[in-house]
Amino acid sequence: MTAKPPPSVAVMKLTKAQYIELCDRFRDKALTEHQDARAWMNRAILAESRLAVLRAEYEPQGIDS
């Protein structure tokens, strides 16, 4: 059994104020999700840089170095 998709905004017949409120709500949610994604991205970049430092420190150096 499949879930019924939510109704389209076009058939909701909202007032202008309701449309603005809906847009504000979606924008706030999108901004929050974007900030969360940026935080995770920054954590990943930091972890990769720390790993690179550790690898350079502990992996054996080649003959050419």
Radius of gyration of the chain (CA): 24
Residue 38 pLDDT more than 80?
yes
Token pair listed for 54: 């550790």
- Compute how many other C-beta atoms are within 10 angstroms of the C-beta atom of residue 28: 10
Q: Which residue has the tokens 């929050």?
A: 32
Model pTM above 0.85: no
Residue 65 pLDDT more than 80?
no
Domain boundaries defined on the chain:
17-57
What's the confidence (pLDDT) of residue 62?
Answer: 63
What's the confidence (pLDDT) of residue 2?
Answer: 77
| Percentage of the chain lying above the pLDDT 70 cut | 92
Residue 59 pLDDT more than 80?
yes
